[in-house]
Amino acid sequence: NSSFHSEDTIAAISTPSGRGGIGIVRLSGPAARTIAEPLLKLRHPLAPAQARFAEILDSTGEVLDEAVVTYFQSPHSYTSEDIVEISAHGSPVLLHHLLRQCLAAGARLAEPGEFTQRAFLSGRLDLTQAEAVHDLIESTTLHQARIAAQQLGGSLSRQITPIKQQLISLIAALEAGIDFAEDDIDLLAQDQISSQITAIEAPLTALEHSFDYGRIVRDGFTMAIVGRPNVGKSSLFNRLVERDRAIVTSTPGTTRDLVTERVSLEGIPLELIDTAGLRVSADEAESIGIAKSREAMSEADVVLLVLDATALPHEEDAAAVATLTGRPFLIVINKQDLEHPESNILKPTLQTIETSALTGSGISELRRAILSLVTKEIPNVETAVLTNHRQQRSVSDALAALNRARQAATAIIPHEMILLDLYEGLHALDAFTGSTTTDDILNLIFSKFCIGK
C-alpha cells in the first residue's frame, strides 16, 4: 500500500457549500504547491506545517481576498501527499473562482471522499479508519462522534492485529508441519489445533457482538408507540419530541400513517414511531394504518404500550402485553390528570409509568424509563465497536471459516484442508482492514463521502 503515489493533483472546496466565515480550498498531489503558489501573493514562502498569510489574486493580478495558507509536505499530511490548504473568506463566488484557477492550472476536481481514499491508499489510514472519517462527519450525536473518533484513532485495527497475528502463527506452524512432514518436526496434535482456533475465535466473537451496540450508536433505537385509539399516543409522541408533529384529535383513529421523528436520549438516537392504534376497524384506510402499526410494533427495538387510566380493562391490551412478553417494552398509563380508578388496569406485576400528556406530568420519568430500557439492551463494550455491516460481515466470514477449520481439525483431515479454511479466515480479516478489498467495494465506500473530504 505504501508504494501508492498518484500522478495527478486533486482540488476541491472542503468546507460546506454556502456562505461562511471561512471557506477552504484544498489541493493534494505532487503539484499542489506549484499550482497554488502563482494564485497567491505570499509575504513569506510556504514552509511545511506552517500557516502563511497571503493575498489571493485574480487572473489580472488584482487582490481578491486575504487568506491563510497552510502547506503540508509529503508524507506528513492527511493524504501523505503534498497538501496546500487555502483558507479564505467563505464566499461561494470567491471559492469557486479559486477552485477554477486551480483546475485551469492543472489540478483535477476531487471525487467524493478522494482525499480520504488517498490517505487509505497510501497506508496512512486503514479501511475502518477511513470509514470512521465518514461516520464522524455524519454523526448526529456526541456519542456517535466519540465512537467514530475512537475508530479513527485505530481502535478496531488495534483489536484485530493481535488476532491476525495469532492466526498467522497457527498457519505458519501448520505449513511447517506440512513442508517438513518427512523430517521429524511434530505435526501439531489435532486438539492443540482446535484449542488454538478457539482462542482466536473468542475475541472475534466478542467483536462481532459489539455490532449490536455499534448499530444502535449509528442508527439508534426504534420505538413504536402502540395502544388503543384515543389513549393519547400522539400526545405522548409530541411530548417526547417536544413539538406538535403528530395530529392529535378527539376522534379515534386519526393517525393512519406512521409518523416518525428522531430524538436524542442522552446521546442515543431514538426513532419514535407513532402508530394508528391496534383497534379492529371496518374503515379501509384505517385498516391499512392498523396493519402498519402491527408491523411497526413487531419490528421496533422497543415498544411503548399506552393505556388510558380512565378506561376499563380491555382484552386488546392484554393481548398486546402477551405478544410483547419477552421483548423490551414499557407500559404507560396516560390521562392521570382525569378522575380514574386506583387499581392497576393490567396485571399488578407489570411495572407501569403514569403520565399525563396533557399536563406533562410523568414525562421526565418516562424519558428516564425509556433510557434505562434501551441502555439495558446495550452490551458492555469498552473499546472497539463494529459500526457498519461491511465490518460485521468480514468478522462473521472470518468466524465461519475458523469454525470450519476447527471442525476439520477434530476430524481426521489432512492439514492442507484445515489450512484452506484458515487462509480464508485470514483473507476475511484482511478485507476487514482493507488490505485486500476490491476496487469496487472501495469505490462504493468512498463515494458516500462528500466532496472535499
Interaction site with Zn ion (CB under 5 A):
233-234, 255
The nearer residue to ligand GDP, 239 or 404, going by C-beta atoms, is 239
Which does residue 249 bind out of Zn ion, ligand GDP, none, counting CB within 5 to 8 angstroms by kind? ligand GDP
DSSP assignment of 255-304: --S-EEEEEEETTEEEEEEE---S---S-HHHHHHHHHHHHHHHHSSEEE
Cell numbers that stand for 340 in this block: 380514574
CB of 274 to Zn ion, least distance (A): 6
CB of 278 to ligand GDP, least distance (A): 10
Q: Could you give the CA distance from residue 381 to residue 50 in angstroms, rounded to a whole number?
A: 40
Going by the DSSP 8-state scheme, the letter that residue 62 receives in this structure is -
- Alpha helical stretches, state H, 359-388: 363-376
Q: Could you give the CA distance from residue 328 to residue 319 in angstroms, rounded to a whole number?
A: 16
CA end-to-end distance (rounded Å), the chain = 20
CB of 334 to Zn ion, least distance (A): 12
The nearer residue to ligand GDP, 304 or 398, going by C-beta atoms, is 304
CB of 373 to ligand GDP, least distance (A): 20
CB of 251 to ligand GDP, least distance (A): 8
Residues within the interface to ligand GDP (CB under 6 A): 227, 229-235, 248-250, 255, 277, 334-335, 337-338, 356-358
The nearer residue to Zn ion, 116 or 293, going by C-beta atoms, is 293
The nearer residue to Zn ion, 186 or 244, going by C-beta atoms, is 244
The nearer residue to ligand GDP, 229 or 452, going by C-beta atoms, is 229
Helix (H) or strand (E) segment spanning residue 249? none
Number of helices and strands (H, E) in the chain? Answer: 14, 13
Q: Could you give the CA distance from residue 271 to residue 260 in angstroms, rounded to a whole number?
A: 7
Q: How many CB atoms lie within 10 A of CB 206?
A: 14
Residue nearest to Zn ion (CB): 234
Cell numbers that stand for 401 in this block: 471459516
Half-sphere exposure of 410 (CA within 13 A, CB side): 9
| Chain mean position to CA 200 | 26
Cell numbers that stand for 100 in this block: 477554477
The answer to whether the CB of 402 falls within 8 A of the CB of 378 is: no
The nearer residue to ligand GDP, 248 or 330, going by C-beta atoms, is 248
CB of 215 to ligand GDP, least distance (A): 29
Which does residue 338 bind out of ligand GDP, Zn ion, none, counting CB within 5 to 8 angstroms by kind? ligand GDP
Which does residue 232 bind out of Zn ion, ligand GDP, none, counting CB within 5 to 8 angstroms by kind? ligand GDP
339 DSSP β-pair partners: none
Which does residue 337 bind out of ligand GDP, Zn ion, none, counting CB within 5 to 8 angstroms by kind? ligand GDP
Which does residue 358 bind out of ligand GDP, Zn ion, none, counting CB within 5 to 8 angstroms by kind? ligand GDP
The answer to whether the CB of 274 falls within 8 A of the CB of 222 is: no
CB of 337 to ligand GDP, least distance (A): 5
Pick from 161, 79, 153, 148: nearest CA to 435? 161
The nearer residue to ligand GDP, 48 or 360, going by C-beta atoms, is 360
The answer to whether the CB of 75 falls within 8 A of the CB of 49 is: no
Residue nearest to ligand GDP (CB): 232
The nearer residue to Zn ion, 249 or 364, going by C-beta atoms, is 249
Which does residue 335 bind out of ligand GDP, Zn ion, none, counting CB within 5 to 8 angstroms by kind? ligand GDP
Which does residue 128 bind out of ligand GDP, Zn ion, none, counting CB within 5 to 8 angstroms by kind? none
CB of 100 to ligand GDP, least distance (A): 55
Which does residue 362 bind out of ligand GDP, Zn ion, none, counting CB within 5 to 8 angstroms by kind? none
CB of 234 to Zn ion, least distance (A): 3
The nearer residue to ligand GDP, 266 or 295, going by C-beta atoms, is 295
